[in-house]
């Protein structure tokens, strides 16, 4: 049985089986108005989180900076307060979560923090 991709569904890397993680945008840049004219064309988004509140994404208020991916439960309990990853766009962040890569990287980072890589370095760990 083949399923046709839903109208408007993403087709990244030839896969339509995973949908982007749903998000809520939480922070927007202020529009710059000068002399009654908007200098910025659209409202840029600088912060968002997944609708389940597990992952949050934010970036510095300047062009070209990466998005930082945080795992909220780990930030709250203090087990991992640094970003799990850097991504190039908010869309990339949503894929990163949807594909399960965020969870995999989180587990690797937590294992590193707990000293599990002390004896043998994990080649996929960014901290080793
Ligand atoms: Zn490690």
User: Could you give the percent of the chain with pLDDT greater than 70?
Assistant: 82
pLDDT in tens, 71-82: 999 999 999 999
Cβ proximity of 42 and 32 under 8 Å: no
Q: How far is the CA of 80 from the centre of ligand 1 (A)?
A: 13
Quote the ligand 1 centre to 30 CA distance (angstroms): 39
- 67: number of Cβ within 10 Å: 23
Distance 118 CA to ligand 1 centre (A): 7
Helices 101-113 and 90-98, packing angle to 10 deg: 80
Q: How confident is the model at residue 64 (pLDDT cuts 50, 70, 90)?
A: confident
Q: How far is CA 58 from CA 19, 63, 81, 108, 115, in A?
A: 21, 13, 14, 22, 28
Q: How far is the CA of 110 from the centre of ligand 1 (A)?
A: 9
CA distance 90 to 39: 23
Query: Which pLDDT value is given to residue 110?
Result: 94
Sorting pLDDT into bands at 50, 70 and 90, what band is 42?
Answer: low
Q: What is the pLDDT of residues 77-106, one digit of tens each?
A: 999 999 999 999 999 999 999 999 999 999
The pair of structure tokens assigned to 48 is 């968002």
Distance 31 CA to ligand 1 centre (A): 42
At 74, give phi and psi (nearest 5°).
-70, -35
Cα of 114 vs centre of ligand 1, distance in Å, is: 9
For the stretch 13-22, pLDDT in tens is 555 678 999 9
Residue spans of the domains in the chain: they are 23-113
């Amino acid at each position: 049985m083949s399923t046709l991709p839903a109208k408007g569904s993403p087709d990244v890397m030839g896969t339509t089986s995973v949908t982007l993680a749903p998000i809520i945008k939480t922070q927007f840049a202020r529009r710059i108005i000068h002399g009654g004219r908007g200098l910025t064309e659209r409202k840029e988004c600088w912060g968002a989180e997944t609708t389940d509140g597990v992952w949050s994404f934010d970036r510095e208020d300047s062009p070209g900076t990466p998005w930082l991916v945080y795992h909220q439960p780990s930030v709250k309990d203090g087990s991992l307060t640094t970003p799990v990853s850097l991504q190039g766009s908010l869309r990339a962040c949503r894929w990163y979560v949807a594909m399960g890569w965020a969870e995999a990287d989180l587990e690797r980072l937590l294992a590193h923090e707990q000293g599990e890589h002390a004896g043998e370095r994990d080649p996929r760990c960014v901290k080793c």
